Chains A and B, each alone.
Chain A
């Protein structure tokens, strides 16, 4: 029943899921950095930055991910020739997918972190200002460390969503899990079995993520 799985070597089943993990990892890092910067902009005292942050979040999170991913390839790469440092379509697609996924996920990370900032009592920021910390010192030393500890749970949600969202990268030919699934469905005429195998693969990836981060969020929560 499962013997057809060994017929695939470009990519293999494990290789495809490894690509999913790599996409999740790199776009997760990217969106965490960019999302934190966006959150800082949204709470900053400069109206222009606040405006940009608000506009970015509201525009990007309301565009379907498929549109963003297809645009990175069809628009950026094919039309504007942004080659991401490689002419090889495999490498190019991988990097474009990370760019698209990070761009999209950053909007959600930003909102999660901003909600974390709102959990920090106002007195903390006022005290920090009173002892002479600047806005960025205040954010780095006082607000964000507390904010991050309270949003591990919501960020785990975003990470799990991101893991599953990486399947959209198959639309521009990145050889991850959904890509292999399409190939198998085309050849084997066994949709339900193949679908079940890949669904199980994603549960194996996301369930531990949720459990570990859930445990961490309890452990690191700020006791107030």
Chain B
């Protein structure tokens, strides 16, 4: 019995030490890859979303498209990296702060709204887009005001800021269905189970602009909230923040920003806000 206890403890210690060394090795690899500074023939890792058409989408052939991708590519170019030196990494909403803190990515452009809670963990460059919470409705729907929503069937993503806004402020009496992703909500809208899908207008415009949904849906044009999309950078890296801000200003002044908006959101009848001023956050 005693022997068994000793051998169990020894095994546990062995396993622990193995996993600990494995972690250490992995970390140092990542640091050297991402923290290699700007310029030169190195790669740059950029965090984007993989599943939001119009903003950040990984296509079936492995290429990337969307407004966030265009902005990230432009910014990376200004930082001294060509398009083929960019490595896009998926950063899901929950993982964004940690990916920056660990140094997995140099910066993140992934529908990242600037909020006070997030500013405690990361630094933001931008904003580069002012989005609003809005509704996506069927083309023949007559919803035109937020007060129309009480008693209607709505859909949004579990735990998202948009879902919380609906429950707490905009329409507490609305019948809110929550799914894990926007694609499920769009399917529910298409089948008529819900009357509207709600989240940022930029995301909705991206879905509505997809080939298979063209002409079926429209944006209601309500400005239910202000979402200032910023570019997340590791806390304390002021140098990169300044460089990215300069890049964003240049992007707006040489019209590349307007082109990116038209390319990605155009078909959905999306009326974009003018390019936001760097450092000005619309509450």
Which A residues are within 8 Å of any B CB, using their own CB? 10, 70, 73-74, 77-79, 81, 87-89, 93, 170-173, 179-192
B94 near A171: Cβ-Cβ < 8 Å: no
Please, which residues of chain B bring their CB within 8 A of the CB of A179?
158-159, 178
Q: How many angstroms between the C-alpha atoms of A171 and B59 in the bound complex?
A: 24
Complex CA distance for A70 and B159, rounded to whole angstroms: 17
Say whether, besides A78-B193, A187-B117, A191-B98, A173 and B164 are in contact (CB < 8 Å): no
A180 — which chain B residues lie within 8 A by C-beta?
159
A10–B117 touching, CB < 8 Å: no
Is the beta-carbon distance between A70 and B184 smaller than 8 angstroms?
yes
A173 touches B160 (CB 8 A): no
Q: How far is the CB of B49 from the nearest CB of chain A, in Å?
A: 14
A-B contact pairs, 27 of them (CB 8 A): A10-B167, A70-B180, A74-B184, A77-B193, A78-B188, A78-B191, A78-B194, A89-B153, A170-B158, A171-B158, A172-B179, A172-B180, A173-B158, A173-B177, A183-B159, A184-B159, A185-B94, A185-B159, A186-B161, A186-B164, A189-B97, A189-B117, A189-B121, A189-B122, A191-B94, A191-B95, A191-B98
Cβ–Cβ contact A171 & B120, under 8 A: no
Q: Are A73 and B179 in contact (CB under 8 A)?
A: yes
For the complex, give the distance between the alpha carbons of A183 and B178 in Å.
Answer: 12
B120 touches A189 (CB 8 A): yes
Q: Which residues of A contact B118 (CB under 8 A)?
A: 189
Contacts of A78 in B (CB 8 A): 187-188, 191, 193-194
Nearest B residue to A9 via CB reads B168
Q: Give A10's nearest chain B residue, CB to CB.
A: B167
Of A70, A89, A172, A188, the contact of B176 (CB 8 Å cutoff): A89
- Chain B contacts of A186 at CB under 8 A? 93-94, 159-161, 164
**What distance in Å separates the Cβ of B125 from its nearest Cβ neighbour in chain A?**
17
Q: Which residues of B contact A171 (CB under 8 A)?
A: 158, 179-180
Q: How far is the CA of A152 from the CA of B279 in the complex (A)?
A: 62
Question: Is A89 within 8 A of B175, CB to CB?
Answer: yes
Within 8 A of A (CB), among B147-200: 153, 158-161, 164, 167-168, 175-180, 184, 187-188, 191, 193-194
Judge whether A88 and B159 touch: CB under 8 Å.
Answer: no
> DSSP majority for the A interface?
helix
> With A10-B168, A173-B158 in contact, do A89 and B177 touch (Cβ < 8 Å)?
yes
Nearest-CB residue, chain B, relative to A187: B117
With a cutoff of 8 Å between Cβ atoms, the chain A residues found around residue B179 in the complex are 70, 73-74, 171-173
A188 pairs with B117, CB closer than 8 A: yes
CA distance in complex: A47, B161 (Å): 54
Expressed in whole angstroms, the minimum distance between the Cβ of B193 and any Cβ of chain A is 4
Q: A89-B175, A186-B94 are in contact. List 17 more A-B contacts (CB 8 A).
A: A70-B179, A74-B184, A78-B187, A79-B193, A89-B153, A171-B158, A172-B180, A173-B176, A179-B178, A183-B158, A185-B159, A186-B93, A186-B159, A187-B117, A187-B161, A189-B120, A192-B98
Q: How far apart are the CA atoms of A181 and B153 in the complex, in Å?
A: 24
What distance in Å separates the Cβ of B229 from its nearest Cβ neighbour in chain A?
A: 15
Determine the residue in chain A with the shortest Cβ distance to B120.
Answer: A189
Which residue of A70, A89, A184 has the most chain B CB atoms within 10 A of its CB atom? A89
Indicate if the CB atoms of B177 and A93 lie closer than 8 Å: yes
Complex Cα spacing A86 to B180, Å: 22
Bound-complex Cα distance A77 to B93 (A): 28
The one of B94, B178, B187 that contacts A173, using a Cβ cutoff of 8 Å: B178
Q: Tell me the nearest residue of chain B to A181, going by C-beta.
A: B159
7 closest cross-chain pairs (CB), A and B: A173-B178, A182-B159, A78-B193, A183-B159, A171-B180, A89-B177, A185-B94
> Do A88 and B158 have beta carbons less than 8 Å apart?
no
Name A188's closest neighbour in chain B (CB-CB): B117
Contact (Cβ within 8 A) A88 B175? yes
B180 / chain A contacts, CB cutoff of 8 Å: 70, 170-172
A90, chain B: closest CB distance, angstroms: 8
What are the residues of chain B within 8 A of A10 when measuring CB–CB?
167-168
Q: In whole Å, how far is A54's beta carbon from the nearest beta carbon of chain B?
A: 32
Please report the C-alpha to C-alpha distance between residue A70 and residue B181 in the assembled complex, in whole angstroms.
Answer: 11
Which chain A residue has the least Cβ–Cβ distance from B190?
A: A78
Q: Which residues of B contact A188 (CB under 8 A)?
A: 117
Residue in B117, B159, B160, B188 whose Cβ sees the most chain A Cβ within 10 Å:
B159
A119–B167 Cα distance when bound, in Å, is 53
Residues of A within 8 A of B193 (CB): 77-79, 81
